[in-house]
Structure 1
């Protein structure tokens, strides 16, 4: 096994770790009683607090950015903040399965955006893999979709949150052609958290007085789905195309639904578990056969 093959397998392993990590996000949010905007704000601020030792290493490049780059970092942060705000709110109105299955539209949105922005082409194997994964995701959430009341509002919030995160991913891919993944992630998280802080002030949400349990949940969200999820996927944008990275959300309904079944006692049927296997197969097909050449080429040049 040559160096490039080992490196690509390492990237695949990190990709799987990222999928598992982000799948815990919905569980932690459901455990918390705090306002979703407060949860998202502290999740991001605590992430950057944990990253401060690494920030010292990058101190000479953290501020070497152009005015245009600062503007796009703020835009990416705004989209990330909007995603967290809308998607976390959806979890209060609908089930984990319904909310996360709508996120599977993200790679489609990113694929279309990548074609127009970066001329990234999608081959037939990638499309087949994406189709299999999305079909499996629909099966997982189909029995749970409701077209009335709070559930419909929750589904709509999840949809618009998906649009926001797709824009966030596309901006990130463009920015990281010129800047490293750490300065990008650090400043995007800072901007997103600050936008959420202003929102909390406007809404009159309290910043203090939370029980130890809530602070523990905020910290878990910072460590598991943010550091080992979002930050990891931002780093992978250096080695994979934006559509491939966004495909990670197709694995989230599988893991999230299983976690919700175990930890939240939400219903999960046998056919939904079977659909989960189709999702994982579709994601594997997309990554293995659609992005191998690009990842190997990038690693060889680094």
Structure 2
């Protein structure tokens, strides 16, 4: 049941591209054509279909579902803010300030709930360094870099490929099976991303287009 609930909230979190697209349209006057919107809907349906079995089994939990929905909204706001910052600052500058501010806010929390601030073993240090290099510098760095040329709605849509990559790696490394439903969902997500990319709204408009 816990896995079902987690999957359900994960599916709620996958609607981040919807909020990023709506936010870009309402706040920053970004334009999206029908092709982009159809691709958005297809990709979201595919992402939801991946979790369809767990969705049918999950029980209602208002607090947990609301938290998942709120996290999706805040994640979309994060993309929109990064998109605007990317027009003025470099990737390195954004990442450095992001980490610095995050550290500043988290230190008091750590001091309140724990006496240990730094890792005490080499294995934990290795895990922390790996997170910093792989997840933050490479992973988040590529996301921030892409926001120079693509809209936050499209970038967040591309990140729906995460479960596909994870499932393929699990299939290769751990011999986990893939159902026909999963494969069809993957195909729908990829098709949705393709439609969105070839529609209006994926690429950042030029200065000339913004003034028209």
TM-score, with normalisation over the residues of structure 1? 0.58
**How large is the RMSD of aligned CA atoms in angstroms?**
3.0
Structure 1 position 203 matched with structure 2 position 110: no
Structure 1 position 173 matched with structure 2 position 88: no
SS at match of 1:118: coil
2:166 to 253, 256, 262: 256
2:180 to 250, 270, 285: 270
SS at match of 2:54: coil
Moved more, 174-183 or 138-147: 174-183
Q: Equivalents in 2 of 1:153, 1:262: separation in Å?
A: 36
- Residue 228 of structure 1 corresponds to 138
- Residue 59 of structure 2 corresponds to 147
TM-score, with normalisation over the residues of structure 2? 0.79
Moved more, 102-111 or 121-130: 102-111
Residue 243 to residue 292, structure 1, CA distance change in 2 (3 Å): closer
Deviation string for 1:164-191 (max 9, x for gaps)? 2211111222233333332122201221
- Residue 21 of structure 2 corresponds to 111
Q: Structure 1 unaligned runs (5+)?
A: 1-92
- Residue 210 of structure 2 corresponds to none
**Contact 1:101–1:138 (8 Å) recurs in 2:** yes
* 1:196 Cα deviation from its structure 2 partner: 2.4
Equivalent residues, number: 203
